[in-house]
Structure 1
């Protein structure tokens, strides 16, 4: 019995020694990677994950295969847009070698309707470009207030109303977009002895001389509704905010109604231009790229567009084989020549609050704010950076003209920041109606005011 007990004891001790050896072996394997090795660095990073299902191997999130979706409405075939996509893809490949970026692009205003439906069905992209602030109240976007790129924002960027809500940042202000304005063919102006107008009457006089020369004065692509709103809002800025810095606030508080004479004056300008034939006859049936072709070809002398126009025009001239010309710029003005300007965020970038790729989405957004990625894109779009460490070099000298108007113009937030979407849509519809040939009637503005009163609470105020 004693011998049997002794053998049992010896066996037990052997088992215990073996277990101890196994334990020490695992510990040694884990410690064999020094803290300075790449594997250790990845494991200690926020994006690293330890796989405990297979034993002793350590894997990082960087190694996994996944597809991350990015939504946008503007990534067309222009060189700087394609360059942006390539820069993002190349940079992201260094962070996540096995990842794939899926670009969910729907050009124009239809994108926003689609995005709204996607959020309603939990199928929205992981990272998405956006405009307006309706998404914040709906809880669609993730709070990004503590992301590393926030410290690099300028003070204006940190306070940009299109990306902030209740004191928090829900998006990146990707581009400081100067006011849209009128871009003109300087060679054609010189041939006709024209100078950039400084008052509405001078603008009308220029249009008349261009029409008399057999050219379309100004090209419109109003099939894209956003171009209608852009034209309307830009003119209201100069009529409203220059004479009253609190114009927008008074509109929101009801002290100024949407049928105010100041706003009526803008619609009367549209009617005058329509009646005198200053727009292309197919203004309502072509989109903005088609209107840009009219301008690039020399058939139209002017076009009302955003600061991306210089780059787009060079591209259109090259592709169409048109005669090259230097582009000029002047902003829309009121009857006295006053100019109201904005430097708004042309495109915000946000993360879907329900994304399953949280760290991966944050890494993508951070990448897109870096100098090498964002600066060439801003140059192509004619936009200014909201990041203090991003420098943009513009190729076209006309951008200095744009900047000079920004510097001396009366700056304010855009009027649409205090008007609900439904009301803005009604205001835009009236412009379309006038351009179709119908006479403007101040009573038409009642629908816009009614929509304003109904949906006023949906506005996220910029002040």
Structure 2
């Protein structure tokens, strides 16, 4: 399971294909307008954003009527998208995965390229990579970027005179000082096992910095976690932090919202997490959202310090959309890559990260952790998470990371076990070389 799917079950993020509603798009004009259908996932929060975007778009494009259509989340919605593309019955514009899973719908065969559109030049460079195939760009962004790393308590850092670390050694030094001051250095919440993966998954920027070709070699069965030092490091971080006694005492039973509350109120100094979680802090710890900052998971080289990104899904136009509908669909797709489109999204949801459009600015009242993340993105110090570059993510990772983080299994053994888990999935996908 992709991390996005696990998080979706936790009710806080939707990263993968989704949703189910009426089939097909209308060929009828509505009062002289061109009517198009927009297909997106049926998560209630997502639908709220879609409704706000449609309203804002129609206010500026009186000649277009956009009909909202939804599809189920998870594999059911994924299969629906593939079926409708194969039968030529896809909506005029639709939301779907970016990254490796986009390749599963054969973009060059099924989608309308937008490489030459003026707005494509405004896309964040990292996002542009994950909505591209070959030399062509196919999508505009749907909602915002999230970053994986460390949420930290800013008042505690100020009290102890600490600075956000840029190397793992400095991070461990900070943890030592925090423990000596009587506070749990790092919150873990293994009652919800998906949260145990972050120290491994969010370390991918460091893996990529050390071995830029790792994602391709990994996909082609030419590189392993257990035998690639930079990739093994994520498992070693879990082992090292556990052995040092840096977890919260109730790490085995604590839940996600308790981890957020702990880092927000200073009960714990750090919580490895993805920034979409920022939107849930106000519920977990009212009034404490801006006491939480963010820094990228530190690696070994401060000069290469950067963040692992979970990119938004994309908005795409199928090749079955033609004529006036194609013109209208292109306007709608382009709207999501403008400041007005970004503002419409922000009006309907709390932001867990920066926009994937260079011309869009974050609101002044955005959470502190999101501002911290945007500094990395603006500087280009970022890499997509591995799941956006490779279709392979073994389903047992969260159980393995719980074992390593609990001291049940050594890091080296955990990495080897995960390599076996990955092999099973690659064979199920029918990938060559496995």
TM superposition score normalised by structure 1: 0.65
Aligned partner of 2:17 in structure 1 is none
Match of 1:350 in 2: 316
Q: 1:347 to 1:162 in 2, by over 3 A?
A: same
Query: What residue is the counterpart of 1:188 in the other structure?
Result: 156
Structure 2 residues not aligned, in runs of 5+: 1-24
Match of 2:52 in 1: 86
Per-residue deviation at 1:273?
2.4
Tell me if the contact between 1:142 and 1:170 (Cα under 8 Å) persists in the aligned partners. Answer: no
Instruction: Describe the shift of the 1:268–1:219 C-alpha distance in structure 2 as closer, same or farther (beyond 3 A).
Output: same
Q: Distance in 1 between matches of 2:55 and 2:193?
A: 31
Q: Which has the larger radius of gyration?
A: 1
Which residue of the other structure, out of 385, 390, 394, is the alignment partner of 1:419?
A: 390
1:339 aligns with 2:305: yes
RMSD: 4.6
From 109, 113, 116, the equivalent of 2:78 is 116
Structure 1 281/435 Cα, relative in aligned 2: closer, same or farther at 3 Å? farther
Residue 44 of structure 1 corresponds to none
Q: 1:385 — aligned with what?
A: 356
In structure 2, C-alpha distance between the alignment counterparts of 1:68 and 1:369, rounded to whole Å: 16
Judge conservation of contact 2:203–2:234 (CA < 8 Å) in 1. yes
How far residue 186 of structure 1 moved from its aligned partner, in angstroms, is 1.0
Matches within 5 A, 1:282-431: 286-287=255-256, 291-308=259-276, 313=281, 315-316=282-283, 320-323=285-288, 325-335=290-300, 337=302, 339-342=305-308, 345-351=311-317, 359=326, 362=330, 364-375=332-343, 377=345, 380-387=351-358, 389-395=359-365, 401-406=372-377, 411-421=382-392, 423-431=393-401
Q: State whether structure 2 residue 95 is matched by structure 1 residue 128.
A: yes
Specify the alignment match of 1:281 in structure 2: 250
| Equivalent runs, 1:23-102 vs 2, <5 Å | 60-62=32-34, 68-71=38-41, 75=45, 85-92=51-58, 95=62, 101=68
Alignment partners' CA distance in 2, 1:369 and 1:411: 20
Cα deviations across residues 196-243 of structure 1 (Å, max 9, x unaligned)?
2333233234335445655443344567776555542221321x2333
Match of 1:27 in 2: none
Listed one character per residue, the Cα deviations across residues 165-194 of structure 1 (whole Å, up to 9, x for unaligned) are 243333223467364221211112223443
Query: Which of the residues 226, 244, 259 maps onto 1:259?
Result: 226
TM-score normalised per structure 2 = 0.68
Unaligned runs of 5+ in 1: 1-46, 52-57
Cα deviation, residue 372, structure 1:
1.8
